[in-house]
Amino acid sequence: MLPSNFNDRLNQMMGVKMEEIAQETQEAFSRDSAEAASRGLIHSGYTLGLYQRRRVQQIDRRVKAVLECQKRLISAMRLPFNETLASELKAQSEAWVTPEWCEQSVQSDPNLGLMKDNKAGFREETLQARNSVLRKASIEIDLLVDELRTQGNTQTPTLSKELDQKFKILLSPGQAEKDFADWSQQLSPVKGQIAVLFADLDNFKALNTKYSEPRIDQSLLPDAMHLVEGLTRVRGGAYKYGGDEYVLILPNNDGMEGAGFAEKLRKAIEQYEFTVDTDSVHITVSLGIAVWPVHGATYQDLLTKASEAKTQAKVQKNCFRMAEIVLGQGAPLPRSGLSLSAQHLAVYLNGKSQYGLDHDPMIDSASLCNELSFTEDVLALAADELAEHGWVKLIKTIGMGKAGFSSLSPTALLFIETDQFIRGSDPKSDARELAAQLIKQPEGSANLSELDKQLSWGPRRTNPSVSFLQLKEYVQASRTLGAHPYAVSWIRATEKTKRFALNV
């Protein structure tokens, strides 16, 4: 049985969380609405889709917030294992997203001219989202309760974990493979994913040389291990792989969640103040990420892929890289820093729409999977990577499937980086030359097509330069009917234009 005050304290914590969730989802809704309006997507069906997206986000964040609060309370109250604990925690999660609440949220949406019968689709998707997020929470709760059972049953040797032989802080590499096998077996029926992270401290040999290996072993390494283990505890397992290398296994985490945790760990280590003797020492870490079953079917497959991605990250240091998915083709953009699948997606999009000569298309996820022979999991990782680079905009509506978006649209930045016609020229230098030409015009404004004639560039080179000036707010631009094939019709100089053109 849960303590009598457990639920009261949970409700207090959730009261604060609910305010945060309401604010975050409203801000996201406002941003999506503004973006939709800028693209001319103002019909009632699309607006209702945005309401549906907000509802699904609220369901996901509510259940995740309950789980987070439960974990904090269990730790703070030192709650021991009992046979009914898992079912009680699951019941609490379900209470925050009841079917009745889901139905009420569907009915509270404005009709906006949509026939009432069409809301049945929203209702079905809402319940599916509820069931999916509760299923994931159920697995997390089972893992949490299993850990409490293990901690409370120290007399049973079969439940003991293999600790690292030297430091006795992190678990052993052998235990990592055993835990991965258990988690993958649990997640297979619900098609869950597992993120495997390979972490390697940067410039570790130089530290050993400067302070000696025994001093590093006595001071810095234990602190680093405690930091890694503390961040990973409850979410999964942390395992020592080498003197300065760790493997982290995060069950029920997909690629984006694994990347989010990698960034959290990277920042935590970068900002932590270690002490060696009396010196204050700052270190960084490089990480590689692989996801089961996207990147491999076995633990060894995942470990190999994560290690390869880590090796790529070590080139830059203090960063993380996602494992590449082998497609049987060479890397079309070897210097981009993108995974192989993201490179192929970028080149495909460039060929599909020549920026400035054709309107940028909105390409649906099903077509991309079919044309590129990608699974939805592979497409999701590749598209998210391009979105993080600012190369594409992802459009998310109802029925978007596992890819995580319904369609995407390339941006000017994609063409600046991938277009063979303009690659080799520097868009920033072109933009400076364009700005210099603009401030020479009468009243500092010009029709872009006329200005381009003076430069003799053509739209394929002019448009990315204009887009660069717009992104940096170095010019004012307007578009009127008939501007195509140019990005805008008129551009006007500002004080920023002059400073940029003169490089002052």
Q: Is 195:291 a contact under the CB 8 Å cutoff?
A: yes
Q: Is 176:161 a contact under the CB 8 Å cutoff?
A: no
What are the φ and ψ backbone dihedral angles of 35, each rounded to 5 degrees?
Answer: -65, -40
476 sits in which H/E element: strand 475-478
Per CATH, the number for 173-322 is 3.30.70.270
| 378 vs 376: CA distance, rounded Å | 5
* DSSP codes of every residue in 188-202: GGGT--EEEEEEEET
The DSSP call for residue 255 is H
Residue 195 has pLDDT above 90, yes or no: yes
pLDDT digit string, tens, across residues 392-432: 888 887 666 677 788 888 876 777 666 544 544 566 788 88
| 98 vs 106: CA distance, rounded Å | 13
pLDDT band at residue 158 using 50, 70 and 90 as cut-offs: very low
| 8 vs 14: CA distance, rounded Å | 10
3-state secondary structure (DSSP) of residue 491: strand
What integer pLDDT is reported at residue 249 of this predicted model? 96
Q: Is 493:445 a contact under the CB 8 Å cutoff?
A: yes
Residue whose C-alpha is closest to residue 79's, from 174, 2, 161, 180: 2
Are both 173-322 and 340-418 of the same fold? no
What integer pLDDT is reported at residue 35 of this predicted model? 73
The DSSP call for residue 117 is G
* DSSP codes of every residue in 285-302: EEEEEEEETTS-SSHHHH
Task: Determine the number of helices (DSSP H) and then strands (DSSP E) in the chain.
Answer: 19, 13
pLDDT digit string, tens, across residues 237-296: 999 987 789 999 999 888 878 888 998 999 999 999 998 888 899 999 999 999 888 788
Of 58-62, 138-142, 476-480, the least confident: 476-480
Where helices occur in 317-457 by DSSP H, the ranges are 340-352, 365-372, 376-389, 412-418, 427-439, 448-455
What integer pLDDT is reported at residue 13 of this predicted model? 84
CA distances 493 to 119, 434, 443, 444, 454, Å, are: 49, 11, 8, 5, 17
Amino acid at 79: L
Where helices occur in 298-392 by DSSP H, the ranges are 299-316, 340-352, 365-372, 376-389
3-state secondary structure (DSSP) of residue 355: strand
Domain at 427-502, CATH from 1.20.5.510, 3.40.190.10, 3.40.140.10, 1.10.10.10: 1.10.10.10
Q: Which of 172-186, 328-342, 382-396 has the largest mean confidence?
A: 172-186
pLDDT band at residue 24 using 50, 70 and 90 as cut-offs: confident
Vertex 257: Cα angle to 297 and 322 (nearest 5):
60
Amino acid at 82: N
Contacts of 214 (CB under 8 A, 6+ apart): none
Regarding predicted confidence, which is higher, 356 or 97? Answer: 97
Q: Is the overall model pTM greater than 0.75, yes or no?
A: no
Q: Is 176:227 a contact under the CB 8 Å cutoff?
A: no
Give the number of other CB atoms < 10 A from CB of residue 1: 9
What integer pLDDT is reported at residue 112 of this predicted model? 45
Q: Is 220:274 a contact under the CB 8 Å cutoff?
A: yes
Residue 425 β-bridge partners: 423
Amino acid at 222: P
What integer pLDDT is reported at residue 123 of this predicted model? 80
Give the number of other CB atoms < 10 A from CB of residue 371: 12
Mean pLDDT of the chain: 81
Domain coordinates in residue numbering, the chain: 6-157, 173-322, 340-418, 427-502
Polymer length in residues for the chain? 504
Per CATH, the number for 340-418 is 1.10.10
What integer pLDDT is reported at residue 239 of this predicted model? 93
Q: Is 122:115 a contact under the CB 8 Å cutoff?
A: no
- Burial (CB count <10 Å: 0-12, 13-18, 19+), residue 98: exposed
pLDDT band at residue 30 using 50, 70 and 90 as cut-offs: confident
Structure tokens at 215: 């001093």
| 23 vs 462: CA distance, rounded Å | 41
Residue 496 has pLDDT above 50, yes or no: yes
pLDDT digit string, tens, across residues 451-469: 888 887 777 678 778 888 8
